[in-house]
Chains A and B, each alone.
Chain A
Amino acid sequence: MSALVEAQDLVKHFPVSRKIGQVLRGEHPAVKAVDGVSFAIGRGENVGILGESGCGKTTLGRLLLRLITPTAGEIRFDGQPLAEHSGDALLSFRRRAQLVFQNPFDALNPRFTMATSLAEPLRNTRVPAKEHQDRIRTAMRRVHLPDVETYADKYPHQLSGGQLQRVVLARALVVEPEFIVADEPVSMLDVSVRAGILNVMKEIGEQMGLAAAYISHDLALVRYVCERTLTMYCGVVVEDGPTEEVVHRPQHPYTQALVKAVPVPHVHQSREPLPIKGGVPDARNPLSGCRFRDRCPYAFQRCAEEVPPLREIGRGHRAACHLLD
């Protein structure tokens, strides 16, 4: 069965304003947010896209939903290239792919009631009005807010963060999508509330057979919800494999450092220095060869000369590191 979402050599560069010298030299400096990413998401598969800020994961999420268009490379949704969609085809795509936002307080128009916000995607994608009530009710039930009447007239400022995020989720589900991109869906919620939203998301994924891309910097979250995890660093994917493998047997030095860096809620945990050197990746001028080499404790000559390809190293597990040859 073909994958639902396929990204092929995806590149997104954001041009940066040039200085005179650069104009004269014909240079086009840009922030290389996504710099050659290829992967696929199968139907019903939950994939985590893990990385720190600036690694390009948010940009990738927006590319997958065609909120921005790639500089190079291709995205195919259900076999059809996304770039070619327009008009009705685009609306049809919007019905099948939705986004869940990071900030529940900002994701809903503060002047709209919950009812209006929930109906909006239905109106925009031209779902017949008689179906609206049922769809909204079903979606709200899925997010465990079955009393639609109590919420219908409320405004965003009247609800708590957890409730709001559920409504945001319901709004995404109202069009009955096949694919959801969730960008840091719980990072702005209190901890005791996060668990509830994550459980709901897991449940929905199973019930509706949704494919999902969870974008997060939080390894624990990704591990809770996703079967598969991609690690991104400076615009490229450095590791891609089953979540448990990536968490317990990370193969790429960056993933290894990431895993070791996460604190756990027990006093007895490792406090050894991380196997990573300080430094911030520069998305405007990524290093030659392996971009991680200036921070990698194991870097050697080849790392500066050759870009390590994303190579299969185990069952369904790929990593981009020369050490693994």
Chain B
Amino acid sequence: MTLARQPIAGPGLEEASRGRLGRMRRYLVLPTQDPFALVGVAIYILFILVALLAPWLATHDPLEILFLEGGKLARSVPPGAEHYLGTTNLGRDIYSQLVYGTQGALVVGLSAAVAVVTAGTVVGLVAGYFGGWIDNVLMRLADIALGIPFLPFVVVLAAFLRPSMWNVVLAIALLLWPNSGRVIRSQVLSLRERAFVEAAVVSGASNAKILFVHIAPNILPLTLLYGSIAVGWAILTEASISFLGFGPSDTITWGYMLQDAYASQALSRGHYYWFVPPGVCIVLIVLAGFFITRGYEEIFFPKLRD
């Protein structure tokens, strides 16, 4: 074992405002310093607000088939004062669909992200800390999950269960946890060797105590980082599934809108006002996740800064 014998310069005494409160403040203050994180957080906040205020923001019921004065179907009306983003070929208000679609997107995105990240973290912690056969078994499970092709699995799942939003979430959770799981496991492996963990063992701490008190909190930043990315990824995945027609049929999501637009040949008819907005929203939210990750990565891993 090599010994680093170079004396380390400790920081001088600093204000007591650092520490837990200070850390919280740093997280909140970051967006003002990093333009990317700022944009990311702003986008998230915007979408969350839209989702929460959907009933008030939407102008019509998204699934209601609307008629013009005179009784004609409000088919493929271009954007205007009455319908901000126009209507679909069946007379439904696109703007309202987009607004309500935000709810669907966020619910799917957040639930799937939480599920994936929780599964990944728990597996990573257990496999990394205990090692041995537990580690082997869990990592083989991870290999299996990674080996199963995603879309076909969703298709099969949809065939057995009713196509619904929760099946999408389930599929994502079942197959995508290894990504975060593996990274967290390797982080745990290195944390396990740290001096303060050894100190805990020497002072008599039980395994459970070490895992939850010493190791898990130091893993949390990674978990949050993966969570951010997972949200965008889950939404993208849901959109793909819906686009292929295996998505939920009872809720409006952006993916549903895209599928609907495609099936109604909106592309060849030039009805850009139908398929562009949901596409843009998906891109924005995925970008937002990425920007936030990039900004907070530097807080969590300060060595990257130099």
Residues of A in contact with B (beta carbons under 8 Å apart)? 53-54, 58, 65, 67, 90-91, 94-95, 98-99, 101-111, 113, 120-121, 124-125, 153-155, 157-164, 168, 171, 175, 184, 187-191, 217
Q: Which residues of B contact A107 (CB under 8 A)?
A: 195-196, 199
Q: Judging by beta carbons under 8 Å apart, are B204 and A94 in contact?
A: yes
Q: Which of B7, B14, B194, B201 contacts A188 (CB 8 A)?
A: B7
Q: Judging by beta carbons under 8 Å apart, are A154 and B16 in contact?
A: yes
Inter-chain CA distance A84–B254, complex, in Å, is 63
Number of B interface residues in the complex (CB < 8 A): 34
Q: Which residues of A contact B214 (CB under 8 A)?
A: 109
Inter-chain CA distance A108–B270, complex, in Å, is 64
Residues of B in contact with A (beta carbons under 8 Å apart)? 1-14, 16, 18-20, 194-196, 198-206, 209, 214, 217-218
Q: Which of B5, B8, B199, B206 contacts A108 (CB 8 A)?
A: B199
Inter-chain CA distance A53–B218, complex, in Å, is 30
Inter-chain CB contacts under 8 Å: number: 107
Q: Judging by beta carbons under 8 Å apart, are A99 and B202 in contact?
A: yes
Q: Judging by beta carbons under 8 Å apart, are A106 and B200 in contact?
A: no
Q: Judging by beta carbons under 8 Å apart, are B10 and A120 in contact?
A: no
Q: Which of A106, A111, A187 contacts B194 (CB 8 A)?
A: A106
Q: Judging by beta carbons under 8 Å apart, are A188 and B5 in contact?
A: yes
User: What 8 A-B pairs come out closest when comparing CB atoms?
Assistant: A121-B203, A124-B204, A94-B204, A161-B10, A106-B195, A107-B195, A160-B10, A155-B19
Inter-chain CA distance A106–B200, complex, in Å, is 12
With A65-B202, A99-B198, A103-B195 given, name 15 new contacts (CB 8 A): A58-B1, A94-B203, A103-B8, A105-B10, A106-B194, A107-B195, A109-B200, A124-B200, A124-B205, A155-B19, A157-B14, A168-B199, A184-B3, A187-B3, A190-B9
Q: Which residues of B contact A121 (CB under 8 A)?
A: 203-204
Whether A191 contacts B7 in the complex (CB less than 8 A), given A101-B198, A125-B204, A157-B14, comes out as yes
Inter-chain CA distance A168–B195, complex, in Å, is 11
Inter-chain CA distance A95–B205, complex, in Å, is 11
- What is the minimal beta-carbon distance from B220 to any residue of chain A, in angstroms? 10
Q: Judging by beta carbons under 8 Å apart, are B195 and A53 in contact?
A: no
- What is the minimal beta-carbon distance from A53 to any residue of chain B, in angstroms? 6
Q: Judging by beta carbons under 8 Å apart, are B16 and A158 in contact?
A: yes
Q: Which residues of B contact A98 (CB under 8 A)?
A: 202-203
Q: Judging by beta carbons under 8 Å apart, are B3 and A171 in contact?
A: no
User: What residue in chain A is nearest B196 (Cβ atoms)?
Assistant: A109
Q: Judging by beta carbons under 8 Å apart, are B195 and A102 in contact?
A: yes
Inter-chain CA distance A120–B3, complex, in Å, is 27
Inter-chain CA distance A58–B56, complex, in Å, is 68
- What is the minimal beta-carbon distance from B204 to any residue of chain A, in angstroms? 4
Q: Which residues of A contact B13 (CB under 8 A)?
A: 158-160
Most buried by B among A107, A158, A191: A158
